[in-house]
């Protein structure tokens, strides 16, 4: 009888242990949870671009977060925080002094990774008279000429950068959108800086801005601070067709995860082949083709190609509306353009366009484009 009681007690204890202990997930089950910081709605396109780029990776789960989450224990569920483009001052003002200290502590003491893009790169620096977090070993200079211009900029990788982005190792020059990002130099403080890439373009199209400020400056920086890792992009890979995969890749590096490959549909460093600085002449051309998107059929068909060719910053905003054009050829071409631009945020537009399409040839193309656009998203790939 005592034997049966003993066995019963052991079974009860085993059941209690099974249901009361938290199960340790296996490596295969591990996901990377990323929060994209929203300064209460500031620069929504920069937030969208970051979220959509992160969706390329099948193991990354991302959501938009606010300062209130960062200063609460909710943030401890996240592996990384991305501070997107927009306004650096707006982001730090939203964080507040306590929020700024919290982010620094999360990196140094909890090992939470942080990635900054453009404005986000600004706030990672140690810049005098600027509300920054001092996490990269760099400071921003020439802030008085912050509005210096933008364009499709040239950059090259350092040896350290080639380790994280080996797909670009044999390329002397690659291209990435640049929109008035910080000009970085060493802060010469206790945090050791580390450059992954160098900007080669000299952007000074706004009157009064000095030449030779942006070129030969760090373009991608990364380092380890305490228990965590920090990385920043001066430019905008997350909205550059063919280069958007660089954001989820740097998140993998910063969270100490495997450097997986991404499909050829997003790894397209040859998509752009030359620098395009947005001089007045280029901006006039961009405006011309933007206006032509609401012109005749012939003007629309040409303009769709041209806004992509000229690396128009706002082409992502303009193309989805053409899925609702009255001409089937325009609708068809617009769907192809969305795939080229990797505009996965326009999936809902394309799904409705396909469902409503009555032209047989156009419907075939819309279905093809819809499949290709879905396949860009990691969770839709086998």
DSSP string computed for 166-234:
GGGTT-S-EEEEEES--EEEE--SSSPP-EEEEE------STTPPSSSSTTEEEEEEEEETTEEEEEES
What CATH code is carried by the domain that includes residue 313?
1.25.10
pLDDT reported for residue 86: 86
How far apart are alpha carbons 62 and 254 in whole angstroms?
15
Identify whether residues 147 and 291 lie together within a single domain: no
13 domain residue, yes or no: no
- pTM: predicted TM-score of the whole model, two decimal places: 0.90
pLDDT reported for residue 15: 39
pLDDT tens digits for range 216-248:
999 999 999 999 999 999 999 999 999 999 999
CB-based contact 84:46 (threshold 8 Å): yes
Q: What is the mean pLDDT of the chain?
A: 91
How far apart are alpha carbons 123 and 217 in whole angstroms?
17
179 domain residue, yes or no: yes
Residue 114: CB partners within 8 Å, gap ≥ 6? 80, 81, 82, 83, 103, 106, 107, 124, 135, 228, 229, 230, 231, 254
Considering 254, 287, 318, which residue would you say is the last residue of a domain? 254
pLDDT reported for residue 39: 86
Strands 276-277 and 138-141: unpaired
Identify whether residues 222 and 290 lie together within a single domain: no
Identify whether residues 285 and 214 lie together within a single domain: no
20 domain residue, yes or no: no
pLDDT tens digits for range 339-353:
999 999 999 999 999
Identify whether residues 285 and 334 lie together within a single domain: yes
Identify whether residues 344 and 249 lie together within a single domain: no
What CATH code is carried by the domain that includes residue 202?
3.40.50.880
Report the alpha-carbon angle 320-332-371, nearest 5: 80
Identify whether residues 228 and 304 lie together within a single domain: no
Identify whether residues 295 and 360 lie together within a single domain: yes
pLDDT, tens digit only, all 382 positions of the chain: 444 444 444 444 443 333 333 333 334 468 999 999 998 777 889 999 999 999 999 999 999 999 999 999 999 999 999 999 888 788 888 899 999 999 999 999 999 999 999 999 999 999 998 889 999 999 999 999 989 999 999 999 999 999 999 999 999 999 999 999 999 999 988 888 899 999 999 999 999 999 999 999 999 999 999 999 999 999 999 999 999 999 999 999 999 999 999 999 999 999 999 999 999 999 999 999 999 999 999 999 999 999 999 999 988 889 999 999 999 999 999 999 999 999 999 999 999 999 999 999 999 999 999 999 999 998 776 5
Identify whether residues 62 and 153 lie together within a single domain: yes
348 domain residue, yes or no: yes
Identify whether residues 361 and 244 lie together within a single domain: no
Identify whether residues 236 and 337 lie together within a single domain: no
Identify whether residues 319 and 220 lie together within a single domain: no
The sign of the CA dihedral 136, 142, 144, 148 is negative
Residue 7: CB partners within 8 Å, gap ≥ 6? none
Considering 237, 254, 271, which residue would you say is the last residue of a domain? 254
Q: How many CA atoms lie within 13 A of 213 on its CB side?
A: 22
21 domain residue, yes or no: no
Domain that holds residue 367: 279-380
Q: What total of structural domains would you count in the chain?
A: 2
């Amino acid at each position: 009888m005592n034997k049966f009681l003993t066995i019963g007690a052991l079974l009860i204890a085993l059941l209690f242990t099974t249901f009361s202990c938290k199960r340790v997930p296996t490596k295969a089950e591990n996901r990377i949870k990323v929060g994209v910081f929203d300064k209460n709605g500031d620069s929504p396109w920069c937030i969208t671009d970051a979220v959509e780029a992160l969706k390329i990776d099948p193991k990354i789960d991302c959501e938009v977060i606010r300062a209130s989450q960062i200063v609460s224990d909710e943030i401890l569920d996240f592996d990384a925080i991305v501070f997107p483009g927009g306004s650096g001052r707006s982001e730090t003002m939203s964080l507040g002094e306590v929020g700024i200290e919290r982010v620094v502590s999360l990196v140094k003491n909890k090992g939470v990774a942080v990635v900054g893009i453009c404005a986000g790169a600004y706030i990672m620096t140690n810049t005098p008279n600027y509300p920054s977090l001092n996490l990269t070993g760099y400071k921003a200079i020439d802030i008085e000429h912050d509005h210096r211009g933008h364009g499709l900029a040239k950059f090259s990788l350092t040896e350290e950068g080639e380790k994280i982005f080996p797909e670009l190792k044999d390329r002397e020059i690659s291209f990435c959108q640049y929109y008035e990002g910080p000009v970085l130099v060493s802060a010469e403080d206790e945090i050791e800086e580390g450059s992954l890439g160098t900007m080669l373009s000299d952007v000074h199209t706004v009157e009064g801005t000095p030449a030779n400020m942006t070129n030969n400056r760090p373009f991608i920086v990364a380092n380890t601070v305490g228990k965590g890792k920090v990385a920043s992009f001066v430019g905008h890979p997350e909205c550059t067709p063919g280069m958007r995969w660089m954001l989820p890749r740097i998140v993998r590096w910063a969270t100490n995860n495997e450097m997986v490959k991404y499909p050829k549909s997003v790894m397209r460093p040859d998509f752009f082949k030359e620098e395009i600085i947005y001089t007045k002449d280029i901006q006039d051309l961009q405006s011309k083709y933007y206006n032509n998107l609401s012109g005749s059929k012939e003007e629309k068909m040409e303009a769709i190609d041209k806004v992509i060719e000229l690396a128009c910053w706002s082409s992502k905003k303009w193309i989805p509306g053409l899925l609702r054009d009255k001409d089937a050829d325009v609708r068809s071409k617009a769907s192809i353009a969305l795939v080229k631009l990797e505009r996965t945020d326009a999936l809902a537009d394309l799904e409705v366009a396909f469902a409503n399409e009555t032209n047989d040839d156009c419907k075939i193309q819309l279905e093809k484009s819809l499949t290709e656009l879905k396949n860009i998203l990691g969770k839709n790939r086998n």
